[in-house]
Amino acid sequence: MTISRLPITGFSNPAVKAARSLREKKHRKREARFLAEGLRLLTEAREAGIVPEALWVGQHRDPHPLIDALERAVSDCGGVIYETTADILSKISGKDNPQTVLGVFSDLPTTLDRLDRTRSGIWLVAQAMRDPGNLGTMLRTCDAVGAGGLILVDQCVDPFSVEAVRASMGAVFTVPLAQADWGEFLGWLRAGPGQLVGTSLNTTHDYRGAAYASPSFLLIGNEAQGLPSNYEAHCDLLVKIPMLGKADSLNAAVAGAVMAYEVLAQQG
């Protein structure tokens, strides 16, 4: 089967503008689509059964079997392949040295009811997380520890921003993700088994060797404010990560990872 590619060389082509606009949140929301860049990320997606609606490839790309596989997958699913210049790839990605492949994906579902809490003993829950790098890094950590997924509570940064997708190193395609407000999350959580674990300065309970249940939901608060105290009150267990220096908190993604690896070690 031959692969058909649509050549695009004009910056003013509407497809260029549409793809480029996905770097901005308001356009992502309106279009319910997002951008992912690079052969590695797009291959992770493909292997997870997620294929872009539109694939952009550079005119002067070196041949690569993984690009061939991507093109076949997009073609088989009825997607479109645009072949374009490095300058246009730069324009879409906003980078001087763009990747030679970009994909436009439909938003992935992020409802709580899709999550299967029996899938893993570890879940990460980020509350009001603001930094896309932290969000992507937490997805990557979820993948590494075999977590059930990442639950975004309250107003978090967009998990489908270019920065978050990039920082996830592809985990955005492989780790289940949900978005909910605090009330919804609590309702869902309490409808089944699960221990809510908060990291807090307001406890003497060391995170190391605390009694984690399975599944544990590890709640990490906002980068600047930490967890609201009334959220702490809903936790089944509050633990403290030692802070021996001047500062009173870790980077949020680091705190999530230190907690997740402790629970993983316990759960074996």
Interface residue list for a copy of itself (CB under 8 A)? 44, 47-48, 133, 137, 140-146, 167, 169-171, 174-175, 208, 241-247, 249-251, 253-254, 257-258, 261, 264-265
Answer yes or no: are the C-beta atoms of 137 and 166 closer than 8 Å.
no
Write out the two tokens for 224. 């600047």
Q: Which residue, 26 or 246, is less far from a copy of itself as judged by CB?
A: 246
Answer yes or no: are the C-beta atoms of 54 and 80 closer than 8 Å.
yes
From CA 70, how far away is CA 88, in angstroms rounded?
Answer: 20
Q: Least distance from C-beta 172 to a copy of itself, angstroms?
A: 12
Q: Which residue, 65 or 268, is less far from a copy of itself as judged by CB?
A: 268
Starting at the edge strand found earlier in the chain, the sheet holding 122-127 runs 177-180, 150-153, 122-127, 216-220, 195-199, 237-239
Q: How many other CB atoms are found less than 10 A from the CB of residue 198?
A: 26
Q: Please give the C-alpha separations between residue 224 and each of 10, 125, 160, 227, in angstroms, as whole numbers.
A: 44, 16, 22, 9
Q: Which residue, 191 or 265, is less far from a copy of itself as judged by CB?
A: 265
Q: Which residue, 24 or 181, is less far from a copy of itself as judged by CB?
A: 24
In sequence order, the 6+-apart residues with CB closer than 8 A to the CB of 120 are 146, 147, 148, 149, 215
Q: Which residue, 53 or 163, is less far from a copy of itself as judged by CB?
A: 163
Q: Which residue, 149 or 194, is less far from a copy of itself as judged by CB?
A: 149
Q: Least distance from C-beta 80 to a copy of itself, angstroms?
A: 27
Q: Least distance from C-beta 137 to a copy of itself, angstroms?
A: 5
Q: Least distance from C-beta 267 to a copy of itself, angstroms?
A: 11
Q: How many other CB atoms are found less than 10 A from the CB of residue 257?
A: 22
Question: Is residue 39 left, alpha or beta, with left meaning phi > 0 and alpha meaning psi from -120 to 50?
Answer: alpha
Q: Which residue, 1 or 247, is less far from a copy of itself as judged by CB?
A: 247
Answer yes or no: are the C-beta atoms of 56 and 89 closer than 8 Å.
yes
Q: Least distance from C-beta 59 to a copy of itself, angstroms?
A: 25
Write out the two tokens for 69. 């596989």
Q: Least distance from C-beta 190 to a copy of itself, angstroms?
A: 28
Q: Least distance from C-beta 177 to a copy of itself, angstroms?
A: 14
